[in-house]
Structure 1
Amino acid sequence: MKSVLRLTLPWLTLILIGAGAYALRYGLVESSDVAHLCDTGRSFTCDVRHATVMGFVLARLQLTASYSYQMGIYGWVALVAAALALFWKKPFTAWLSAAAGMVAVVLYCFAPGALALLVGCLRLVRLQSSGTAPLNHHGAGARQVHGQP
């Protein structure tokens, strides 16, 4: 039972983080009621909304003299987490990359978030499956003899 929990817990927490990011996006950032509340007054909800919006608006990456890419702090964190997952082969860094990628994708940093989510999920599956042999469906390991069809 512990093995099943150890294997499923990272995936369940990724689902919870994704649900939290969606709640943040659709409950605070895109909510017209919260926007009107923040226009008229100031509260903790408005501060959280402002900090969230500033997270995906802040940084601009200048690639060439004529082309720049708008990438917020969520995208940068996702890229750093993906690099960590690639170079430091631990389940936590793989999970961190997937979680940061999930948040970045939901909060408008699509390209770096998708990359980090993919790297993190693939690395996590790889690390969780290391040490286990693939199943042999043909029974060759059990020394069973099969006739020709």
Structure 2
Amino acid sequence: MCFVLEHLTDPALALRRLRRLLRPGGTLTVIEGDHGSALFHPDSAHAHAAIDCQVRLQAAGGGNALIGRELHPLLTGAGYRDISVRPRTVYADADRPALVEGFTRGTFIAMVNSVRDEALAAGLTTPADWARGITDLHRTAEPGGTFSYTFFKAVALL
């Protein structure tokens, strides 16, 4: 299961229900991100604030953009055993142009920027602060910039 739990209002219930689909000794693999793990250079409070708008809006809709850090307790609470959670970091800089374009610009910045209108309507930011945050995020994809993000991969047994 990949990038599903973060969108659910009750991920623990979903994990418990998935148990019915597994045979005894079967495995479940879960991959989720954690927007709180975004680290970048040059650092920017405005960029972090734009990311936080996305996190807050997802939470308001019942989801959790920080769920990657919760995989172990969620799986434990749902009755799985032999749980192994490992971070999987994506790091992009000028020496990795495909990641800069495909992940930093094309995935992460695009995802954050997609909530602009909703963030403004909710009063979470101003047009000027939003523009500054997105501009600063784009600087991380320019020469001299770096971007790092952590996904979490969990494997558990029934």
Classify the TM-score, shorter chain. under 0.3
Which has the bigger relative contact order, CA under 8 A and spacing at least 6?
Answer: 2
Larger Rg: 1
Q: TM-score by structure 1 length?
A: 0.23
Give the TM-score of the pair, scaled to structure 2: 0.22
Greater strand content: 2
- Normalized per residue, the structure richer in helix is 1
